[in-house]
Chain A
Amino acid sequence: MLRAIDIHDLTVGYNRHPAVHHLSGRFEPGALTAVVGPNGSGKSTLLKAIMGILRPMDGTIDLGGLRAGQLAYLPQQAEIDHTFPINVLDMVTLGHWPFLGPFGRVGQVQWAKTHAALAAVGLVGFERRPIGSLSAGQFQRVLFARLFLQDASVILLDEPFTAVDTKTTEDLLRVVLEWIRQGRTVVAVIHDLDQVRTNFPYTLMLARKPIAWGPTSTILTPANLDTARCIAEAWDQNAPVCHEKS
């Protein structure tokens, strides 16, 4: 279960413009890493590349023998139709998909796990609520419960605590820390630097190119934060072709 994610000289982007430029490094197995950086610095792009949603322009991502389908992923803006007639219980139960596939029967064991997941995220009593009636925080709890059931060894979270109140953040953070205790690898895009300092042992700072990667206390320095902001703000529409090799 314990495998590292190795990233070697990775460049990913859109229309030939790199959003992540020559990134190399390793997400250690069982590590809790925050990805920080200004808007437009390539954080979401990195997660999408790891998930295999975006194809690298250059470089490689080694998932240590896992397939992208075995990773759990919480997108920043899930393309979910909130008007769709489905209730919380059914939506969370979809988290069993990696084990049941499209046809497997949801048995007593699975239902019990579903209820345990709902309890873990504080949604007991919401089982029959249609997803359209949930608040943003409640909906984030639903998504976490579903991730919970996917039982993945690597979990990628894109801005999991944005637009969520303090109480919900605390509850969901507790779930994340429990995942780490179980030996799972978690990579989360986070904007709240205080939260990173308090809870995340490792940090990757991105500004399209990597600024720094390592133990959080050595990364979140004023100098690094300044560099990140300056680089991310500079954008050249007519950039020349990159021949750099790292």
Chain B
Amino acid sequence: MKFGHVSMEDYPRVVEVFSENLANNKLVGSECGACQKKYFPPRSSCENLHSDMQDLEISGAATLKAFTIIHFAPDSMANKAPYVVAIGELSDNISVMAHLVGITTKPKIGMSIQLKVQKLDEKRYVYKYVPA
């Protein structure tokens, strides 16, 4: 299972597992068993050098912190432009970048948005924001 609109690196296990969770419509990050530091998307170990990582399913409710409309895209995304790249703030001090789709008017910082699983094709998934 692959992740992202485009990808450049080989898929390490943590991304494989994450993408399989996306395919099952689940947003699963990770939480350190030793210091409770929470991550989304997941990491295979914690920044405090602990390795006891456990699954953390998130709801995806978020607030829009920043956004841009990409008109001139990197080569690999040129056929998808223009698209909105947004940063949303979820709970537990977690903020995540994703496309913001399904908007009818100009996005407003502070608006409620929802992180959701997006299926790109049978083998490729990503997550996206939609207005809440």
Q: Do A and B bind each other?
A: no
